[in-house]
Structure 1
Amino acid sequence: MHTDDRFTVWCAACDWNVDPGRPEEKRGRLERARRELARRHGEKLLAEVTAGADLRPRRDASALLAHAIALAVHGVTLAVVAAGVLFLVAGWGVPAMIPGVFLLALAWPLRPRLPRVPDDRPVLRRDAAPELYGLVDEIARVAGTRGVDVIAVDASVNASVTTCSLRGRRLLTLGLPLWEILSPRQRIALLGHELGHYSNGDTRHGLVVATAYRSLTTWRYYLAPIARPTPVEWFVNLAYLVPRTLVQGVLMLLDRATLRATQRAEYLADAMAARAGSTEAAVGLMDRLLVADSVVVALRRETNDPRARRRDSSHAAWAAGMWDRLAVHLRSVPEHEYTRQRRAGALRGHSVDSTHPPTHLRRECLLAGVPVPAAVTSGGDREERIAGELAEARATVARRVLRDGYDGYDS
């Protein structure tokens, strides 16, 4: 057995201790159903890929059902608005204005909303980061789409793309803890994956369905049962039981109608990652996702170091070197730990979240195809210029992590 004091000791021959007694997270019924569907759809889609099936996006009955449900959700919101306006303008007197104001106040947070460009994290504009935007544009051409309009940086072990307005402004969010532990080719694969979502027809990320999800999630928040209720609150919980069950049922139905298309979109985005950065780089990206827990542990260790608490020159120096120390730590992770994580992921169905196929299946899917070379390359000079463009954001996020602590993947 290979041993390293920093990681779990296990046996590669018999899988002893490959996934030691980790307590299972407490998840709600919807989250458990999502993860089970993700596992089943992921396995089925992997079988289709290895059999040579065509996974290109297409309009089917599930997509039509998802849009019908989403339009019905927006219709309910519109009905609440109409009822509120009716109470206010019908001339029924002052008492009727109270439910009118209440209904309009209720409908306001339920309205269809698009994400906004964040104002609580560093944002890089095109004129301030021409090399990074140029790299994104080059990868976007390979993906058959256009680039992004805004790039934001945060402290999550993640990356994402989203549409921020009806005009179609695109936002790319780069989590520095993930970006900093990737090689240049793996970064290209990461960007290829994210930009691939724009050309894969992911139903769940479309305007109509995505905004309906947000409305349903808001309804579920409003109708959540009160913990440790008083006798009066107990009756409130009881009154909420039927509408809460209805909202939960609609969410689960929308999940079933969209999850297979979302899983398909993830596999297609992975294929785009391989096309942009090479199959080898895309597989390496999957491995980095498997050891994301090590990133979280390393950042928590950084925040607990006495130098992180000082307010002198040593603190500034500690913050300046944080990302380099994180990259060094991840480079020191032994191969047998990656192997253990892959086997443990196969046992427990590791995935980035409940909408992604299990990570080990995504890795298998990449390895099942014919290896492809990188369509986009980035030399040392370009990497240095991109690092310079990110320097201020790196310092800002590092200071925030050391000041506020690190809670996990979405800090």
Structure 2
Amino acid sequence: MSVATEETTQPCPQCGAEIRSDRRFTTWCAACDWNVDPARPQEHHGRLERTQRALARRHGEKLLAEVTAGGTLQARRDAPAVLAQAIALAVHGVTLVLAAAGVWFVVRGWGGVRMVPGLFLLLLAWALRPRTNRLPDDAPVLRRAAAPELFALLDEVARVAGTRNVDAIVVGAELNAGVTTYGVRGRRLLTLGLPLWEILTPQQRIALLGHELGHYGNGDTRHGLVVGTAFRSLTTWRYYFAPIADPTLIQMVVNLAYFVPRLLVQSVLLLLDQLTLRATQRAEYLADRVAARAASTEATVGLMDRLLVGDSAATTLRREAAQAGLGGPRRAGRDEDRTDGLWERLAAHMASIPEYEYERQRRAGALRGHSVDATHPPTHLRRACLLTGEAVPAAVVTDGERELRIAAELADVRGRVARQILRDGFDG
């Protein structure tokens, strides 16, 4: 399946150089950067996330400078990491104190009105308890028996990463991927966004798996059990102390009473974020190194480029969902037929993106500090870090037959996720 391109040429209005462009994408000049980033994306983030992104860029630049100067990215337990662990334990200690006080009030006031504050404290401690992740109920979950070839590929990547494999894979409709743990035993979980998987080449997929598995052994304290659950507890506190919108007179008093504890919780969150951000930045760079060892530097850099044009993939999926929704229920049969070719149409669109659009996105990303989220270093810095030093060959390779077997294992979830996107729209 191919996509018709709409290439044109014109002189640059700023320097006069010839510009080759595709009407589907922004027209810009590679010679003088005219119109390279005509409309920076609007900031829809809150103050906290804007601060996180600015600090992520600053830490990312410092780490890249260290590597360029011959330094190492080796994960280490430094003073900020130790302090973050101490603060996290203190947060959990508050929850434990609430639970103990609740038990004391209940026992002392058994059968009387003094049980009420005890029950309240116990409910509060229960709400703030350290929570482990759970497997989702609304997304397909793959285990080794259902996808032996995909898990075998993950086994090879895990050996390169020096870690063990995941226990389950959740396949979602997001243009993203990630790893975490679930359950009290800390089982490992890979969340694989099918839209991202489908726009990657086979080696870029290995790079993606290498990056994610690399997170399990690179000193990222933010996602550890102690600190990670403390973040979730503090976020719950912040929710409870959030100001009431359009308050009545009594609610204004409540908002005023909540101001100091809300400020305290927000301050602890910011402090914990600051203490773990540098380790998180280092963890991303280290995960990129693992990806390069597994799939090659070339494939990992290609993965970065795909992330830069992710908005184009998202726009394509939104357009597909909008077209599927036209005509209402009478088009239900035809919309069902559209699911079979959704991923092929997406792949064809991505294959048709010209190289000069990738270059524009690289330059625009460097200007605006494009990153996957508020905790990742800017993508152009990650790319530059990978290109520092000699290129690394692939330790894990795949072939057409293996790709077909993996595709067969994912056939059911490919159809399920495609139907979900066409029915509900795409917002990943």
TM-score range, shorter chain: over 0.9
Partner in structure 1 of residue 39 of structure 2: 21
Partner in structure 2 of residue 224 of structure 1: 242
Partner in structure 1 of residue 95 of structure 2: 77
User: What is the letter of the counterpart of residue 407 of structure 2?
Assistant: A
Residues 36-55 of structure 1 aligned to structure 2 (within 5 Å): 36-55=54-73
1:336-375 deviation line (CA, Å, top 9, x unaligned): 1111111111111110011100001000111112101100
User: What is the letter of the counterpart of residue 136 of structure 1?
Assistant: L
Distance 2:214 2:143 in 1: 22
1:367-403 deviation line (CA, Å, top 9, x unaligned): 1121011000011000000000000001111111111
With 292-301 and 376-385 compared, the bigger mean Cα shift is at 292-301
Partner in structure 2 of residue 133 of structure 1: 151
- Which of 94, 97, 109 aligns to 1:91? It is 109
- Which of 296, 312, 315 aligns to 1:297? It is 315
Aligned-residue offset at 1:106: 1.8
Partner in structure 2 of residue 206 of structure 1: 224
Secondary structure class of the residue paired with 1:100: helix
User: What is the letter of the counterpart of residue 397 of structure 2?
Assistant: T
Distance 2:39 2:255 in 1: 36
- Which of 369, 375, 396 aligns to 2:416? It is 396
Partner in structure 2 of residue 355 of structure 1: 375
Is 1:345 matched with 2:357? Answer: no
- Unaligned residue ranges in structure 1 (runs of 5+): none
Aligned-residue offset at 1:285: 0.3
Is 1:266 matched with 2:271? Answer: no
Partner in structure 1 of residue 261 of structure 2: 243
Is the 8 Å Cα contact of residues 307 and 318 (structure 1) preserved in structure 2? no
Is the 8 Å Cα contact of residues 209 and 291 (structure 2) preserved in structure 1? yes
Aligned-residue offset at 1:141: 0.5
- Which of 377, 385, 394 aligns to 1:365? It is 385
- Which of 196, 203, 212 aligns to 1:194? It is 212
With 303-312 and 34-43 compared, the bigger mean Cα shift is at 303-312
Aligned-residue offset at 1:163: 1.1
- Which of 319, 331, 337 aligns to 2:351? It is 331
User: What is the letter of the counterpart of residue 357 of structure 1?
Assistant: P
Partner in structure 1 of residue 192 of structure 2: 174
Is 1:5 matched with 2:23? Answer: yes
Is 1:155 matched with 2:173? Answer: yes
Using the size of structure 1 for normalisation, the TM-score is: 0.96
Is the 8 Å Cα contact of residues 307 and 314 (structure 1) preserved in structure 2? no
Distance 1:337 1:102, change over 3 A: same
Distance 1:217 1:375 in 2: 41
Secondary structure class of the residue paired with 1:170: strand
Distance 2:167 2:183 in 1: 11
Secondary structure class of the residue paired with 2:200: coil
Is the 8 Å Cα contact of residues 241 and 258 (structure 2) preserved in structure 1? yes
Secondary structure class of the residue paired with 1:356: coil
Secondary structure class of the residue paired with 1:2: strand
Is the 8 Å Cα contact of residues 186 and 277 (structure 1) preserved in structure 2? yes
User: Identical aligned pairs, as a percentage?
Assistant: 70
Distance 1:141 1:95 in 2: 60
User: What is the letter of the counterpart of residue 323 of structure 1?
Assistant: W
Aligned-residue offset at 1:332: 0.9
Aligned-residue offset at 1:52: 1.8
Is the 8 Å Cα contact of residues 43 and 361 (structure 1) preserved in structure 2? yes
1:239-282 deviation line (CA, Å, top 9, x unaligned): 11111111111011111111101100100000010100000000
Distance 1:202 1:89, change over 3 A: same
- Which of 135, 146, 150 aligns to 1:117? It is 135
Partner in structure 1 of residue 336 of structure 2: 316
